[in-house]
Structure 1
Amino acid sequence: MKQVDGQKLLESFGDAMKDVRGRMTPDAPMDRVTWFHAGGLAELMFQPHDVDDLVTFLKGLPDDVPLTVVGVGSNLLVRDGGIRGVVVRLSAKGFGDVELAGENRIKAGAICPDKNLSAMALDNGIGGFAFYYGIPGSIGGALRMNAGANGGDTSERLIEAHAVDRKGNIHVLSKAEMGYAYRHSSAPEGLIFTHGVFEGYADDKAKIRQEMDAVRHHRETVQPVREKTGGSTFKNPEGHSAWVLIDEAGCRGVLNGGAQMSPLHCNFMINTGQATAHDLEYLGEMVRARVFEHSGIKLEWEIKRLGNFMPGLEIKPFLGVTTE
């Protein structure tokens, strides 16, 4: 059943978008965007040509049209009922560059893969970025959620983040203004990050290469990197490892339809073939419920879930288990 009508929304803009140069796609299938390969339609997807084009679009966007921003889709689950309004997906051509920005400084666009920032640092003998080599995402997501791995995180390296708000105004935020905590930023939700400026330190290239090789080896041996997955499903609770709690609750390898908690790393949820977004989210909430029943600990989602449930297929947190 069709849940959105993007052509109607596009036509409603009239001449407000006549100067926009980017691509607008009605009824865009989000299963082609997310690494889970599941989910419904975006009512209208907009891919801006560059920052100026994004500003032009936002200045013309009516206030009552919902706006959602997605990156490369690596840590994203879109529900089967789709996403209402406009989904902004930044293009690699306009927002994927990475370049030097001063001594031991690197500027990276929001769609620049985290590993490309790490590779740029290696090429220029800049230490402190090896951890990014093991994160399967992009810089925009890293800025938003303080992405980290292998003992490092974004907050350690960020100098400033550049963003555009819903009205098309440009903002430059310092690291302090980002309000970083573990896998969290308190920056306003409505901001669309366009790029960040990061700083490392001079280091030996051979040493950096060894660090990156260690990160890659760890990831390839303990994570299901060749599966349809969204990375870590749940955040690590303070003083605990999410995968240990999941394992102890008997959820390693557990299945729901086409969705499974990976037998290799049980904090990774995978699409084994034809999983729906409902299969995946239901599995996640089932795991949360079992972990709570076993340990009394409430796991928090690290994967971002967006959009609407299909009618009659709503999923309650913890599947409705009382957690108070």
Structure 2
Amino acid sequence: MSEANPVLLPGFRGRQTASAPLGARTWFRVGGAAEWLLQPADTEDLANALAALAPDFPVLSLGACSNVIIRDGGIDGAVVRLGRGFADIVRDNDGLVVGAACLDATVAETAAQAGLGGLEFLAGIPGSIGGAVVMNAGAYGSDIAAVLDWAEIVTRAGDLVRLPVASLAFGYRRSALSDGSVVVRARLRGTPADPTSVAAKIADVRASREASQPVRARTGGSTFRNPDAAQTQYKAWELIDAAGCRGLRMGGAQVSEKHCNFLLNTGDATARDLESLGDTVRARVLERSGVSLHWEIRRIGRLEAA
């Protein structure tokens, strides 16, 4: 083993990189480095890797990094990022069997070409299928829980397991997947439909998203979950707006003026700027409305470099 090219896992067929910068991989374009970045060649490679790592060695799976703030101090342990070996899409009767690295929008487009409806909402979700399963991603009246038949995961121990949708205990933007496990494949159920009609619905979803969200900015999707209807009738963005936070700035971070449940990196923001701005928004909303907003964006890693 050379210091210039350290190796965490002898025999690993994918790419393993020490001190791998992650900021440029995120939609916010901020954050520190991963102690190790593992990009497995295929499911077998991933399973062997997780089985070989000590049980207490931290493992975190990241997808398209569209809804995450990686803190400036970086991430300890191994970050798993799936690539081409996990990007197949196969028609399976009334559904699609989809690799976890596939982008949500690509799956929606493929479903349209296959004459399958019901998956159009995926065109409005930035990210990949693996992350969508983990967080039960949803938009435009549907979510993963409504269309998922099963998901295959590699457990932290390195076992490949197929889980039916019922065992994932989906809730609002959450699932029961255990820490360290990695989604590798999923079956999404559709309904036979005219491809032209499905394509038109996808176009409507995209037009709506373009009109209402800052899709061309350095952002990370919805920042906070909408509160439970039993707590308030207002959505998160309405509470944020009423608290006077639209356009609020902190360092290089800003609350979007177009949709105030989105944070923006205006060009020179740090992860600390973004997280501090989000916490300031939460405090102002709580003070004005009595409602405690909960983060939808994941904040992970160390606040500062060791």
Normalised by the length of structure 1, the TM-score is 0.90
Instruction: Give the equivalent residue in structure 2 for 1:94.
Output: 85
Instruction: Give the equivalent residue in structure 1 for 2:96.
Output: 106
Query: What is the distance in 1 between the residues matched to 2:161 and 2:240?
Result: 40
Native 8 Å contact 1:161 1:195 kept in 2: yes
Query: What is the distance in 2 between the residues matched to 1:185 and 1:48?
Result: 24
Instruction: Give the equivalent residue in structure 1 for 2:247.
Output: 253
Partner AA of 1:108 in structure 2: V
Which secondary structure does the structure 1 equivalent of 2:238 belong to?
helix
Aligned counterpart for 1:275 among listed residues 269, 289, 293: 269
Report 1:16-27 matches (<5 A): 17-27=9-19
Gaps of 5+ in 1: 1-6, 313-324
Aligned counterpart for 2:124 among listed residues 99, 122, 134: 134
Partner AA of 1:24 in structure 2: Q
Native 8 Å contact 2:117 2:193 kept in 1: yes
Native 8 Å contact 1:55 1:169 kept in 2: yes
Native 8 Å contact 1:37 1:228 kept in 2: yes
1:190, distance to aligned residue in structure 2 (A): 2.6
1:130, distance to aligned residue in structure 2 (A): 0.6
Instruction: Give the equivalent residue in structure 2 for 1:320.
Output: none
1:311, distance to aligned residue in structure 2 (A): 6.7
Query: What is the distance in 2 between the residues matched to 1:95 and 1:296?
Result: 44
Aligned counterpart for 2:283 among listed residues 284, 289, 312: 289
1:137, distance to aligned residue in structure 2 (A): 0.7
Aligned counterpart for 1:228 among listed residues 218, 229, 232: 218
**Deviations 1:9-46, CA, capped at 9 Å, x for gaps:** 955x4xxx322101011111111111100001111111
Which secondary structure does the structure 1 equivalent of 2:286 belong to?
helix
Instruction: Give the equivalent residue in structure 2 for 1:84.
Output: 76
Instruction: Give the equivalent residue in structure 1 for 2:179.
Output: 189
Which secondary structure does the structure 1 equivalent of 2:221 belong to?
strand
**Deviations 1:283-315, CA, capped at 9 Å, x for gaps:** 000000000001010111110111011179xxx
Native 8 Å contact 1:30 1:41 kept in 2: yes
Native 8 Å contact 1:243 1:265 kept in 2: yes
Query: What is the distance in 2 between the residues matched to 1:218 and 1:198?
Result: 24
Q: 1:108 to 1:311 in 2, by over 3 A?
A: closer
Query: What is the distance in 2 between the residues matched to 1:258 and 1:214?
Result: 33
**Are residues 1:115 and 2:105 paired?**
yes
- The number of aligned residues is 300
Query: What is the distance in 2 between the residues matched to 1:32 and 1:129?
Result: 29
Query: What is the distance in 1 between the residues matched to 2:194 and 2:268?
Result: 46
Native 8 Å contact 1:29 1:41 kept in 2: yes
Q: 1:165 to 1:180 in 2, by over 3 A?
A: same
Native 8 Å contact 1:161 1:174 kept in 2: yes
Q: 1:55 to 1:8 in 2, by over 3 A?
A: farther
1:213, distance to aligned residue in structure 2 (A): 1.2
Q: What is the aligned-residue RMSD (CA, Å)?
A: 1.5
Instruction: Give the equivalent residue in structure 1 for 2:295.
Output: 301
Normalised by the length of structure 2, the TM-score is 0.95
Aligned counterpart for 1:216 among listed residues 203, 206, 223: 206
Aligned counterpart for 1:171 among listed residues 158, 161, 168: 161
Native 8 Å contact 1:177 1:187 kept in 2: no
1:8, distance to aligned residue in structure 2 (A): 10
**Deviations 1:138-176, CA, capped at 9 Å, x for gaps:** 101110011010101101100000000111011111110
Following TM superposition, the consecutive aligned residue runs of length 4 or more in structure 1 with deviations greater than 3 angstroms are 7-11
Instruction: Give the equivalent residue in structure 2 for 1:242.
Output: 236
Query: What is the distance in 1 between the residues matched to 2:305 and 2:62?
Result: 24
Query: What is the distance in 2 between the residues matched to 1:171 and 1:88?
Result: 18
